[in-house]
Amino acid sequence: MSAQSHDHHHGHAHGHSHDHPHDHHHGHKDHHHHQVPRAGARRAFAVGVALNTLFVAVEWVCGVLSGSLALIADATHNFSDVLGLLMAWGAIALSRRPPSARFTYGLGSTTILAALANAMLLLVATGGIAWEAIHRFRDAGTVNETFMIWVALLGVVINGVTAWLFMAERKHDLNMRGAYLHMAADAAVSLGVVAAGIGMMFTGWMWLDPLVSLVIVVVIFAGTWGLLRDSMRLALQAAPEHIDPVGVRRYLAALPGVSEVHDLHIWAMSTTENAMTAHMVMPAGHPGDDFFADVVEHIEHQFNIGHVTIQIETGRACALAPDHVV
């Protein structure tokens, strides 16, 4: 017998059954398949892309005219962030597309790929800045400090405002977190450029320009490493950081009538959606759809897993029971 139940956010459930060696129960929330980006996120992306595209052009020209490596490096870094914002924005738009016969889970996983690419892009940009800064120690050149300071101050304002727009959204989505880190890092970079300009103006030490650039590289790398680690884990289908697989297994094993839980898998379908599958041995047979509707609702609210598939077995040996078998 196979029983299938879909728990919708409307509050109703429905099911059907057929003769089959195993029972399967599937639960999901409708909004997980067609998740609409929050209005704040859409506004943050639009404003962030527009402001930073304009600022990149201004800062690049001013960096060349003033002779400041820090400004040119900051403009390059900002350009990589614009590309990163566009990738994240595009991935979120793709994740709204409904599932198809080929992409049965939809395109939500593009948000994971975008977060991973975003982190890697930022690391590549910092590597380029570090390389150029090291060369500048040998040939510091001349810099128009006043020009450099005012342009960098403009960058602090623009990047600070953009980071503020993403601040509230960063807890809901890994891509939002990546965008926030990008913009906050940019504001820090621009602030460092201001400090370098002021220092050169009063001391004449031209090597402050590349030195501040290297310090900023270290700060950005430290902040980006966590994003790279988390997005890499999601890309490899690891259980999301905020979900406790041991706790999920313990909850399922403690349910009435369950003698064993195996083949438990938990992974991220996107940067905001999670899924799981599990086999539960219940010698007395399927306990009914109402039982599983409660289980699915508990897993959704307690563990933030919105797409749940559970297979019921009555005791026959399962080839997937050993932990090393997937």
Give the whole-number percent of the chain exceeding pLDDT 90.
17
- How do residues 211-236 score in pLDDT, each as one tens digit? 877 887 787 787 678 878 888 888 88
Q: Which one has a higher pLDDT value, 89 or 15? A: 89
Give the whole-number percent of the chain exceeding pLDDT 70.
81
Q: Comparing 9-23, 137-151, 269-283, which segment has the lowest mean pLDDT? A: 9-23
- How do residues 94-144 score in pLDDT, each as one tens digit? 777 888 888 887 887 887 888 888 788 878 878 887 887 888 787 766 777
Which pLDDT score is estimated for 49?
Answer: 87
pTM of the model: 0.66
Which pLDDT score is estimated for 11?
Answer: 34
Give the mean pLDDT of the chain.
Answer: 78
Whether pLDDT at 323 is above 90: no
Q: Which one has a higher pLDDT value, 309 or 206? A: 309
| Residue 276 confidence class, pLDDT cut points 50, 70, 90 | very high
Which pLDDT score is estimated for 113?
Answer: 85
Which pLDDT score is estimated for 32?
Answer: 41
Q: Quote the CA–CA distance of 146 and 164 in Å, as a whole number.
A: 27
Sign, CA torsion 32/38/44/47: positive
Domain ranges of the chain: 2-33+244-313, 39-235
CATH number of 39-235: 1.20.1510.10
Whether pLDDT at 168 is above 80: no
308: nearest Cα among 273, 284, 270, 262: 273
Q: Could you tell me if 69 and 162 are in contact, meaning their C-beta atoms sit under 8 angstroms apart?
A: no
DSSP letter string, 23-75: EEEEEE-GGGTSPPPPHHHHHHHHHHHHHHHHHHHHHHHHHHHHT-HHHHHHH
Which pLDDT score is estimated for 294?
Answer: 93
Q: Quote the CA–CA distance of 17 and 129 in Å, as a whole number.
A: 62
Q: Which CATH architecture has domain 2-33+244-313?
A: 2-Layer Sandwich (3.30)
Buried b (16+ CB within 10 A) or exposed e, 113-145: bbbbbbbbbbbebbeebbebbeebeeebeebbb
Whether pLDDT at 160 is above 50: yes
- How do residues 231-257 score in pLDDT, each as one tens digit? 888 888 889 888 999 999 999 999 999
